[in-house]
Amino acid sequence: MYETSEFRKGLRVEIDGQPYIMVDNQFVKPGKGQAFNRVRLKGLLSGNVLDRTYKSGEKVDKADISDQSMQFLYEGEGIYHFMDNNTYEQVEMTKEQIDDNWKWLVEEMAVDVLIYKGQPVSITVPNFTVLEIVHCEPGMKGDTATSASKPATLSTGAIVNVPLFVNQNEKIKIDTRTGEYVERAKE
């Protein structure tokens, strides 16, 4: 159990049998009356956001959650396969469970898999990844002067906007948190 004095951003708790992560915690000490914590929680399974208030000294259950570093193996028929490099145990996840992270998954990529009560729930991909452009309009000489962009299809099927000077078959660095082009990949 966590007491209100232990509340902090990123803490994982269980409320009504569902896992939540604290995305905001505000300690309030009014001039008159008891101190309290105003907490914003995001559901790890549902994505719902809750706003709760806890009086000083109240307790909340710890969530049975762990992060495991795993390697992405392959995708087949909408099922994504991951393997723990230590135990060689494999887990499967659906496209709904991994959300938009499918756009950045490359075979043999190391990811963090969130495990809740022994079941994989979601994944976290690295902040940056390098992917190859499989289709985009050709770049023209002199296109570096403006900040205009064009859509490019990556090897994973994701579509991102890239500067006009970037060409097909080039590798680019992507920020997976925003889905934006960062730079050409250095070979």
pLDDT tens, residue by residue, 78-100: 899 999 988 899 999 988 888 88
Which residues make beta-bridge pairs with 26? 38
Residue 57 · residue 42 · CB < 8 Å? no
Interatomic CA distance for residues 50 and 53, integer angstroms = 10
pLDDT tens, residue by residue, 59-81: 998 888 888 899 999 988 889 99
Q: What is the CATH number of the domain that holds 13?
A: 2.30.30.30
Mean pLDDT for the stretch of residues 147-172 = 86
pLDDT tens, residue by residue, 6-46: 888 888 898 888 888 888 999 988 888 888 999 999 888 77
* Residue 16 amino acid letter: D
Does position 187 have pLDDT exceeding 70, yes or no?
no
Do 16 and 46 belong to one domain?
Answer: yes
**Domain-terminating residue out of 94, 109, 124:** 124
Residues in the chain: 187
**Domain-terminating residue out of 62, 80, 106:** 62
Q: What is the CATH number of the domain that holds 151?
A: 2.40.50.140
**Domain-terminating residue out of 11, 39, 62:** 62
Q: Please, which pLDDT band fits residue 141 given cuts at 50, 70 and 90?
A: low
Residue written as tokens 């900040």? 147
Do 6 and 57 belong to one domain?
Answer: yes
The structure's pTM equals: 0.71
Do 180 and 132 belong to one domain?
Answer: yes
Mean pLDDT for the stretch of residues 102-117 = 89
Q: What is the pLDDT of residue 124?
A: 87
Residue 43 · residue 18 · CB < 8 Å? yes
Range of the domain at 144: 128-184
Please count the structural domains in the chain: 3
Do 13 and 50 belong to one domain?
Answer: yes
Give the alpha-carbon dihedral of 112, 113, 115, 119, to 10 degrees: -170
Do 134 and 95 belong to one domain?
Answer: no
Do 138 and 105 belong to one domain?
Answer: no
